[in-house]
Amino acid sequence: MRDGLKAELAQATAELKAHMATWEYAFAMASGCHGGRDHPVHWETQACTERLTARCRELRARLAEDEL
């Protein structure tokens, strides 16, 4: 089970890193006064980022529980 979780975490981390390397991510996470960050075009990119981040967080927590 532990090896499966590690492999799943590695896959999820790779997906998150690939997502964060895109121009869509760069534009969606831009900041500044009246920047494009809050534009509806970027909502899906931000939601995807949150889903991938949450998945990695969940897998890390499951691995930590398994170590106990």
Residue 54 has pLDDT above 90, yes or no: yes
The confidence band for 18, taking pLDDT boundaries of 50, 70 and 90, is: very high
Residue 62: Cβ-neighbour burial (10 angstroms; 0-12, 13-18, 19+): middle
User: pTM here?
Assistant: 0.84
Residue 8 has pLDDT above 80, yes or no: yes
Instruction: Give the whole-angstrom CA distance, residue 18 versus residue 52.
Output: 11
Task: Spell out the domain ranges in the chain.
Answer: 2-67
Closest CA to 56 of 21, 19, 8: 8
Closest CA to 62 of 2, 14, 16: 2
Yes or no: say if 16 and 50 are a contact pair by the CB < 8 Å rule.
no
